[in-house]
Structure 1
Amino acid sequence: MFTGLTRIDHVGIACHDLEDKIAFYESTFGLVVASREVNEAQGVKEAMLHVADGPSGSSYVQLLEPLGPDTPVGKFLAKRGEGVHHVGYGVDDVAAALEAIGAKHVRLLDERPRHGSMGASIAFLHPKDVGGVLTELVQASEDPL
């Protein structure tokens, strides 16, 4: 059963140089890298930087560098430049969330959950149906990295 959004899990930020942006967020805001991954399926190198812990879980800044210009983040950078790429919201059950949100006529970019950062189950909603914001649903892993 979908009980709603539980928190802002992360804000995804597209960047040209992952190492440069990590250094900026570490030195400017004191954030610490919680994980780094290369996600070939999504065409990105990424880093999750821990922001805070709350009653519903942790929140992060996710930095995304494209693996190439023809990837979704590569195309985003070419069109819009560096900046906010998407917002990820925590949910208790991503499959139930997809079913409930899809029933409200919001288009789903993912019909079923897939692998996300730090072992999470994720799915994306179509930005045109969510106020122009690419929206990610995130069910955190029971055993985060």
Structure 2
Amino acid sequence: DTQSTVRLIFISQSAPAIKKRLQRLKGAEGKSLEELVSVATCVYHTRENIQETKLVRMLAALVNAGNRNEKQGGWRGPPKWQPKMEKGGAPSRANDMCNYCKQLGHWKRECPNRRTGRQPRRPDRPQQQMA
């Protein structure tokens, strides 16, 4: 009689998750106190693992969100070399600015950084001679 009273008190005073699991057990009143304690510890450790998993996921999401913001950086405006737009919509560019290297003093066709003569294309495979 005392054993059944102790089991009922143990079940009623357990944490909600443990109580629910113990009440779902078939024949919980007939089980020994040791079996009930082992089921309770199993539920407790499972609950701890679930909480740890949730915490790890939240931390990973925060770290990924922080890294994503650093990588993207947002819009920083036009490149420094690009001239600002005037009212007409066309960029104000000096008359003697190169459109290839963006330096003053020469035009694109006279740019020293640009490759001049075009090299003829080499065939991918040698031509076969007909005999």
TM-score tier, shorter chain, comes to under 0.3
TM-score, length-scaled by structure 2 = 0.17
Q: Which has the larger radius of gyration?
A: 2
TM-score, length-scaled by structure 1 = 0.16
Say which structure is richer in strand: 1
Higher RCO (Cα < 8 Å, 6 or more apart)? 1
Say which structure is richer in helix: 2
